[in-house]
Structure formats: structure tokens, C-alpha cells
Structure 1
Amino acid sequence: MFARKSRDEVEGGGAAASDAAGGDTRRIHVRFVGQVQGVGFRWTSQRVAFDLGLTGWVRNEPDGSVSMELQGPSEAVATFFTRLLESYRRFPISYTIDSKEDIPPMPGETEFSVRF
């Protein structure tokens, strides 16, 4: 498991910068379908989330999909999807986002974990 980077390391402005911007913490629930199991998708997602200072979790579902909750500054959450796509540039996989919805943030969450 990766330790979460501080916002200073990720954004250069620290938590105070986020607070000054109005505390724009966003949490989303996402369901991915397609070629998302058996290709390192959860571990890659964890690494991208770690690099962006995001928290949450990811897990394989029995139906072959992958569920994820992702939390952090709105801009970093949006950047996550671009970075995830870029990470598969050398090993392309086929996946789509089946659903994505905003859910209430979870205060105090400190890491992004792979669930089993």
C-alpha cells in the first residue's frame, strides 16, 4: 500500500490552498466495465490516485466490472481519468465508464486502497 502524498507535494499549495479555494473536496463512485480484471487495473488505479494525492478504494466485482470511490480536490479527481488512460498507452486495454456519480465526501480518509 502507498502512503498518501501531502497536498504540498502534489499541488505545491498545501491544504491551506484548498481551504482558501473553498474546500472543493469531491467524492465519486465509478463503475468500469470491459477489460478491467486481470490486467493490473486496480493497482494502476491505486498508483495514479497516490500520485495525485487522492483517497478512496477500488475493487473487482463478481460480474467482471470494477468499482471505485475516489476523493480529493475536484481538479485532481478530474485529472485522475486522464492519467489512468495515459498509463495504459503502452499496453492498451478496452474499458468504459458504465456509471459515475457524486457521493458525499468521507472526512478523515487518508489512503487509497485496493479492496478484495
Structure 2
Amino acid sequence: MIRRRVVVSGRVQGVFFRDSCRREALAAGVTGWVRNLPDGTVEAAFEGAPEAVERMVKWTRNGPPDAVVYDTTVSDEPLAGDDAFTVRPTPH
């Protein structure tokens, strides 16, 4: 099991990025979360089998059809033990 945090920049809000990400994560069998950030980026954490997590990281480099991804920053994190994949609210 591994965990990666991803921050995606570009035209990634208002294009169903979070909901599409949630559906892809469920299909891949990973847990974690996704949320919009106030600066216009999208942040996500993916936890699961290495190949499933890498599938999700790769997906974020393009996102859903209407997204335009400029950059994706990926970092390793310790396992958190999430039991589902959720869409989180934007922090203030």
C-alpha cells in the first residue's frame, strides 16, 4: 500500500474534475479524497495498491475531457487508512 498527494493546476475547477476523480478512484479501488483549493488548483490524496495509485496519478495529468492541466505536483505521504474516496469541501 502507498499514498500520494497530488496538486493539479490549470483549468481544473468547474469542469467536473472532482466528481470525475471520485468515479475514477472508485473504479481503480483507491481510497482518499479530492477537493478544490482557493487558489484554483485541485488537491487529491490517493491510497491503495501501488499500481492503482499510479493509475490515478496518471489520470490527474489529463483529468476529465474539459480540463486543461498545466502542471501536476506529486508527493509521497504516510498511509492514512482512509476507508473510502470522498469529495471534500474547499478549505477557507
TM-score range, shorter chain: 0.7 to 0.9
Gaps of 5+ in 1: 1-24
The residue aligned with 2:16 is 40
Shift, 1:83, TM fit: 4.5
2:33/2:46 contact within 8 Å kept:
yes
Higher RCO (Cα < 8 Å, 6 or more apart):
2
* CA root-mean-square deviation: 1.9
Shift, 1:84, TM fit: 5.3
Aligned residues: 89
Identity across aligned pairs (percent)? 35
> 1:19-66 deviations in whole A, cap 9, x for unaligned?
xxxxxx010111000011000000000000000110000000000001
**Aligned partner of 2:29 among 53, 73, 96:** 53
The residue aligned with 1:5 is none
Gaps of 5+ in 2: none
2:15/2:66 contact within 8 Å kept:
no
1:71/1:105 contact within 8 Å kept:
yes
Shift, 1:80, TM fit: 1.9
Instruction: Give the number of the structure whose alpha-carbon radius of gyration is greater.
Output: 1
